[in-house]
Amino acid sequence: MRNLNIINSIRSLFESGEKFTAIEINRIVGTNDARKVISVLRNEGMPIKDARIDNGCKLYWLGSDQVQTSIEFEGGAI
């Protein structure tokens, strides 16, 4: 069940609210499958966001799955 432990460990990292690169996740969890597990978690519905940073790596974090409901316009939001 090592694979399930790795998935749960990476899920917990994202639930902490921190942002991580795949390299950091691999180092923390002791695996080399961070990107694969991120795909698994996304397929399970976890709203993991990413952005490429200056050094070419991607930074991953748990985003909100809520849609913005207000619209900004001159004079305030509706």
Domains of the chain: 2-62 (1.10.10.10)
pLDDT, one tens digit per residue, over 48-61 is 999 999 999 999 99
**What's the whole-model pTM score?**
0.78
Q: How would DSSP label each residue in 7-71?
A: HHHHHHHHHTT--EEHHHHHHHHT-S-HHHHHHHHHHTT--EEEEE-TTSPEEEEE---PPP---
pLDDT band at 2 (very low <50, low <70, confident <90, very high): low
pLDDT, one tens digit per residue, over 12-27 is 999 999 999 999 999 9
